[in-house]
Amino acid sequence: MTPFADDLRVSMPGRLEDLAALRSVIDAAGFSCVFERGDEQLYRCADDGTVKLRQFQQVAVASASGLALRQLRGVGLFDSYLSVLGSGPHRVTGLHVAADIYIEASAIVRRVAARARAGKVQITRRAVAPGDIDEHLSTDSWGNRTGTVYLGKPSAELRVAIYDKRHEQWCRRGVDIGPCLRFELRVRSKIGATLRDAHSPAALFFHYLAPDLIRAPAAVQPWTPYTEGGFTLQPRPDFTPWELIDRKLAASADVRRLIELARAAGPHGMDLLCQRLRAMADAAETSGVGIARAVGSEQPAAEAASARPSARAH
């Protein structure tokens, strides 16, 4: 069992315009910007993971989902992401740490719920109160009574979820990942988690879940709140603009679709696509506003006519 960061929210003083280095890492990791307005930007990767950048007055907030963090780890840029976040004043305002055991989950989920209701589970210094236990159980596609048990109120600074990951993925995505039991620790700002815990979350994870919910490994280190440093991040690569362009082109489904459409438009479709991109770039440069606003959505009539297949008589 290896705990890993499964959701991360970090707040920093400043504005979205100050996050150019973070956007470079997001671009390099293969994310596409799918939504943008003055105070919010949303980036998505191929696995549907999201990174959201938001502005609240003089504070910028970067939120990465579990699938987004998996993407960053997969392309070797998770350390770079943390390095940028930690390069100035910041606070971890939300962190989920998860660990999976690949066993049949249903009986364990029900057993944890029963032990918690009997007052035999502590995740802080006191047993979980009966009113803070929330069960969501149903019969899965394999005939098991299973689901999720939450320990702690939804608004609590610390909450634990124990659930049948196989059932959850089947319901959400229609994918059978096989037997899988997930333990998930969810903490907020006042718990005192730091980027150190996002990078190496085992100490935080077992501090709260062991020994009542899971056994801690002998080698796990003790955890103390608000502990920075003590871990090594890989050096952050400096990507040139062209390297970022190349990565984004290779990862973009929209670009691939545009190429398909241009080829379907006729023998001059690719030329017209390139001309259109150049016109958009020129208009944005001269007007100083966004490309979509500068150019609009109307295709020039001459270009549309030359790209459109000729009509046949019937």
More confident position, 73 or 20? 73
Range in 26-40, 148-162, 232-246, 281-295 with the lowest mean pLDDT: 281-295
Q: How far is the C-alpha of 163 from the C-alpha of 106, rounded, in Å?
A: 8
What mean pLDDT do residues 43-56 have?
92
Nearest CA among 95, 66, 70 for reference residue 6: 66
Per-residue pLDDT of 96-128, as tens digits, reads 999 999 999 999 999 999 999 999 999 988 899
Q: How far is the C-alpha of 187 from the C-alpha of 98, rounded, in Å?
A: 12
Instruction: Indicate whether 311 pLDDT > 60.
Output: no
Percent of the chain whose pLDDT exceeds 70? 89
In what order do the strands lie in the sheet containing 59-64?
32-37, 40-44, 50-56, 59-64, 4-13, 91-101, 181-188, 158-164, 145-151, 133-139
More confident position, 201 or 36? 201
Instruction: Confirm if 146 and 167 have CB atoms less than 8 A apart.
Output: yes
Task: Return the pLDDT at 236.
Answer: 67
Confidence at 244, pLDDT banded by 50, 70, 90: confident
Confidence at 243, pLDDT banded by 50, 70, 90: confident
Task: Return the pLDDT at 237.
Answer: 72
Nearest CA among 236, 200, 187 for reference residue 87: 236
Q: How far is the C-alpha of 27 from the C-alpha of 18, rounded, in Å?
A: 16
Q: How far is the C-alpha of 208 from the C-alpha of 214, rounded, in Å?
A: 10
Per-residue pLDDT of 230-241, as tens digits, reads 666 666 677 788
What mean pLDDT do residues 26-34 have?
91
Instruction: Indicate whether 290 pLDDT > 90.
Output: no
Average pLDDT value for the chain: 87
Task: Return the pLDDT at 15.
Answer: 87
Nearest CA among 129, 168, 130, 132 for reference residue 148: 168
Instruction: Confirm if 291 and 283 have CB atoms less than 8 A apart.
Output: yes
Task: Return the pLDDT at 288.
Answer: 59
Count of alpha carbons within 13 angstroms of residue 186, beta-carbon side:
17
Q: How far is the C-alpha of 115 from the C-alpha of 213, rounded, in Å?
A: 10
Q: Say which amino acid occupies 115.
A: R
Model pTM? 0.80
Confidence at 25, pLDDT banded by 50, 70, 90: very high
Q: Provide the residue ranges of all domains of the chain, joining segments of one domain with +.
A: 254-307
Cis amide linkage into residue 211, ω under 30° from 0: yes
Task: Return the pLDDT at 250.
Answer: 78
Instruction: Indicate whether 48 pLDDT > 80.
Output: yes
Instruction: Indicate whether 299 pLDDT > 50.
Output: no
Nearest CA among 186, 11, 14, 29 for reference residue 86: 11
